[in-house]
């Protein structure tokens, strides 16, 4: 499609630096096309304040703000937690937010009769892939505009120059210009001093952390909590029934106050380079820990080990933007089957960045104190172990005998 044929563009709009300057840039470079801004609310809080006024002032014809928080939690976060999926330790906060936003973006673009969809992802990052694969899944013929792959702007400093020249209001300055992504699950920090892997993150610097405190500044007394699960889904916090979304929000406060969920990572990006980032995921860290704790009681050995193995593939699919693929759907079906008995209660202690086990209970527990005891029992016959070892070790014994015969012949 030629530029002159593009009359209306739907833009994934956050109000941050990238998307703020994209509105005037699109109008300048695509024949004064109409720009419809879409902001998916995935729990970024006050970042949504004043967004409509800002979008309209910078040239958008309208702004959609769509609440995606429940869908985000129920259809993306919880299935990923149930899978135990971590990408190199990263809890995938940005990764699984992109497909839910992109899905709604396509829905609005089709309803608006748009000629193209635009996003503010850089040509160096993973998000361009995540957005565009989701668009292809729901609108395979839709034109996609990625300004970072077209314009002559080379850095965030030049973006600020462009914004100032076009009177685009910004909430950041050149000194605090970390690249951040926030939602109800996490907050990421990249850029500035973090680009030097030799620099320690400034956890104690006022304003650096937003969802958490440094473990050094956490209380000197522990915080206890209980979480109830039904089929792998969190349903109650400290005995109070709540939605999964509200549990995550409450855990963010409890975890954040205790310095839980800070991750400083050099990760392998999909596009081939390594990148350093700092992530705050206080509630998510607690939820992953609690869910895994309960699974140690309720999953059999073979299922637990296979699930752990497949969790790596699941995490790679999410990280690489392949949420809407047959393989991810198949893996989710497997995970759902493993969760039928992941029901019970977990008690945890939070203390200065640490999550400490404090108790676990389940009516479906495969753990038996009667079997595992070091004291006297009347259930397990220890003499049975001799026959088991003979059979289990038979291949090893036969191989040793064959090796001995071969060695004897060579003498």
Residue of 14, 39, 95, 179 marked active site = 179
* CA–CA dist 21, 157 (Å, integer): 13
Helices (H), 154-198: 156-165
Which CA distances in Å does 3 have to 141, 142, 277, 347? 16, 14, 36, 58
With contact defined as beta carbons under 8 Å apart, do 134 and 321 qualify? Answer: yes
User: Is 276 an annotated catalytic residue?
Assistant: no
* CA–CA dist 19, 5 (Å, integer): 22
Residue of 20, 98, 188, 328 marked active site = 98
The contacts found for 28-33 with CB under 8 angstroms, 24 or more apart, are: 29/3, 29/150, 29/151, 30/3, 30/6, 30/145, 31/3, 31/4, 31/6, 31/7, 33/6, 33/7, 33/8, 33/9, 33/115
Residue of 95, 115, 127, 328 marked active site = 127
* CA–CA dist 296, 149 (Å, integer): 46
Ramachandran region, residue 365 (left: φ > 0; alpha: ψ -120 to 50; beta: rest)? beta
User: Is 127 an annotated catalytic residue?
Assistant: yes
Residue of 14, 18, 228, 332 marked active site = 18
Residue 400: φ, ψ to 5°: -65, -40
Which CA distances in Å does 389 have to 300, 301, 374, 395? 21, 19, 20, 11
User: Is 98 an annotated catalytic residue?
Assistant: yes
* CA–CA dist 35, 108 (Å, integer): 12
Which CA distances in Å does 156 have to 40, 174, 187, 209? 23, 9, 19, 21
Q: Looking at the annotation, which residues are catalytic?
A: 18, 98, 127, 179
């Amino acid at each position: 499609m030629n530029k002159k044929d593009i009359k209306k563009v739907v833009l994934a709009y956050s109000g941050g630096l990238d998307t703020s300057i994209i509105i005037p840039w699109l109008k300048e470079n695509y024949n004064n096309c109409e720009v419809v801004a879409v902001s998916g609310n995935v729990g970024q809080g006050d970042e949504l304040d004043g967004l409509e006024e800002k979008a309209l002032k910078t040239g958008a014809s309208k702004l959609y703000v769509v609440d995606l928080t429940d869908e985000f939690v129920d259809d993306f976060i919880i299935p990923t937690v149930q899978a135990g999926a971590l990408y190199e330790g990263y809890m995938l906060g940005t990764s699984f937010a992109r497909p839910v936003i992109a899905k709604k973006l396509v829905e609005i673009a089709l309803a608006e009769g748009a000629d193209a969809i635009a996003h503010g992802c850089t040509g160096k990052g993973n998000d361009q892939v995540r957005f565009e694969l989701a668009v292809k899944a729901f609108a395979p013929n839709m034109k996609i505009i990625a300004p970072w792959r077209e314009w002559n702007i080379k850095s965030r400093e030049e973006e600020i120059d462009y914004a100032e020249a076009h009177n685009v209001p910004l909430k950041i300055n050149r000194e605090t210009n970390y690249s951040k992504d926030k939602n109800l699950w996490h907050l990421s920090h990249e850029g500035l001093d973090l680009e030097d892997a030799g620099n320690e993150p400034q956890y104690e610097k006022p304003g650096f952390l937003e969802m958490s405190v440094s473990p050094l500044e956490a209380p000197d007394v522990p915080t206890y909590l209980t979480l109830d699960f039904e089929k792998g889904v969190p349903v109650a916090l400290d005995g109070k029934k709540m939605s999964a979304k509200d549990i995550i929000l409450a855990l963010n406060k409890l975890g954040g106050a205790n310095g839980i969920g800070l991750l400083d990572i050099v990760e392998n990006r999909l596009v081939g380079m390594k990148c350093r980032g700092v992530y705050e995921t206080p509630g998510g860290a607690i939820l992953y820990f609690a869910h895994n704790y309960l699974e140690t009681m309720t999953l059999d050995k073979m299922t637990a080990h296979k699930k752990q193995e497949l969790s790596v593939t699941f995490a790679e699919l999410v990280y690489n933007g392949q949420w809407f693929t047959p393989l991810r759907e198949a893996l989710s079906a497997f995970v759902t089957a493993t969760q039928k008995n992941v029901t019970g209660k977990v008690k945890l202690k939070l203390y200065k960045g640490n999550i400490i086990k404090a108790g676990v209970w389940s009516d479906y527990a495969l753990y038996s104190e009667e079997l595992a005891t070091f004291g006297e029992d009347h259930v397990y016959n220890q003499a049975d172990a001799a026959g088991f070892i003979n059979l289990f070790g038979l291949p090893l014994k036969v191989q040793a005998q064959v090796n001995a015969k071969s060695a004897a012949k060579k003498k």
